[in-house]
Amino acid sequence: MNYFKNIRLFLIIMPIILSVSCGSVSTKQKQQERITIGALFPLTGEFCDEGIRALNGLLLARKDVNDNGGVLGRQLDVITLDDRGDPRYVAEQYKTLKEKGVIAIIGSSYSDVTLELAKAAEKDGIPVISPTASNPEVTKGRKNVFRVIFLDDYQARILASFAQKTLRAKTALIINEGGGRYNRISDIFSEAFRSRGGSVTAVERYSGAGDFDAILKKYKAKQPDVIFCPTDYMVAAKLAEAVRKNNFSKTNLLGTDAWDGILTFVHERGVLDHIYYASPFAFDENTPKVTNFSQNYFDNFSYTPLSTSALTYSSVQILTASIEKAGSTDAEAIINAMKTNVHDIVTGRLQYDYHNNPNNPHTYVYIMQIRDGYYSSIDKIRI
């Protein structure tokens, strides 16, 4: 609890620190001495742990950048605001960052929130890079909006392939949120699974985690080989517990990158035995780049990094390298550099396609499982 209180205190005093440290110099001098970017994450509310993981990656990246000479010989400053994970609120927070003169923005964590941020920033041309928003609509047709994570379409096809090749699944049950938030990724998974000879038993919809028992009882007599549920880690934890309660002992659970963090919310560890999900990052990847980052992260925060922290760190790497290549803080020059660079970052090698999405030939998806109470990567796939 003290950790979260300290984070909130930091968020309150950070703008004050920035104003005090720069208050005795002119605006021109301030611009010469510092480069300021903005960040928007859900730092309060239901998804605040996701936002705090992003904030940790951001703070670590800023420290590393400044310890290594800054950007264009200047120190990197970051103004971080809370978007509450609310699509209706993020545009207001964007205006605040714009008024403060940030040259680029990192955020947000979820696709629906980032889509509203992208719409707000599009007309101003301010570069935006989201670490984790995977819906294709976020960047489509917007020259100034980028992402670090793979697309929903890509991970859905990989999960369908993994289900059949590795798990030997022949039947799948899809469970979707009632509002249709994840219809697209479910449709792509279904199409890919069927194209390989699999059978989709049904597509069920839930309005809350309390619906899971009723849904599962319908398939208890003839249990599917896999259940695919593209939802967040908190709902996924409830589903996992319902699956165990209803004795689906031979059914594997499949989830998207949004399941990263599920371990914190599962109360009965035995339910984790049959869980697999996609991730853009695995801290146990045995490369110097990942090992050094993971150790550095652990030294600063006392636990191993999940994908959100690594993707946010990578966002800062992409942005600062692009500013260096541009040789200025001009938005159009930064955007051009982001688009044309080959980015060697913590989460791998990345080059952008026409729609500012990671180019698939360079993009790996890790399949994660939880073993003995720890996250573990069991496969690394690209198609």
- pLDDT higher than 70, residue 245: yes
Query: pLDDT tens-digit profile of 115-131?
Result: 999 999 999 999 999 99
Phi, psi (rounded to 5 degrees) for 350: -140, 135
The identity of residue 160, as a single letter, is A
Query: pLDDT tens-digit profile of 16-29?
Result: 334 333 443 444 45
Considering the chain, what percentage of its residues have pLDDT values greater than 90?
83
Average pLDDT over residues 167-176: 97
Average pLDDT over residues 277-304: 97
Spatial strand order in the sheet of 226-228: 199-206, 171-177, 226-228, 252-255, 275-279, 365-371, 374-381
Question: What pLDDT, on the 0 to 100 scale, is given for residue 362?
Answer: 73
Average pLDDT over residues 31-45: 91
- Rounded to two decimals, the pTM is 0.91
Chain position carrying tokens 């936002």: 51
117, 94 contact by CB (below 8 A): yes
- pLDDT higher than 80, residue 251: yes
Q: 152-279+366-381 has which CATH code?
A: 3.40.50.2300
Query: Does the fold of domain 152-279+366-381 match that of domain 2-150+287-352?
Result: yes
Question: What pLDDT, on the 0 to 100 scale, is given for residue 74?
Answer: 98
Residue 257 makes CB contacts below 8 A (sequence gap 6+) with 132, 134, 149, 150, 155, 277, 278, 279, 280, 307
* CATH class of domain segment(s) 2-150+287-352: alpha beta
Residue 204 makes CB contacts below 8 A (sequence gap 6+) with 173, 174, 175, 176, 215, 218
Query: pLDDT tens-digit profile of 190-226?
Result: 999 999 999 999 999 999 999 999 999 999 999 999 9
Q: How far apart are CA 354 and CA 340, in angstroms?
A: 10
User: Kind and range of the H or E element at 213?
Assistant: helix 212-217
Q: How far apart are CA 15 and CA 79, in angstroms?
A: 7
DSSP-assigned beta bridge partners for residue 275: 253
Domain-by-domain residue ranges, the chain? 2-150+287-352, 152-279+366-381
Average pLDDT over residues 271-299: 95
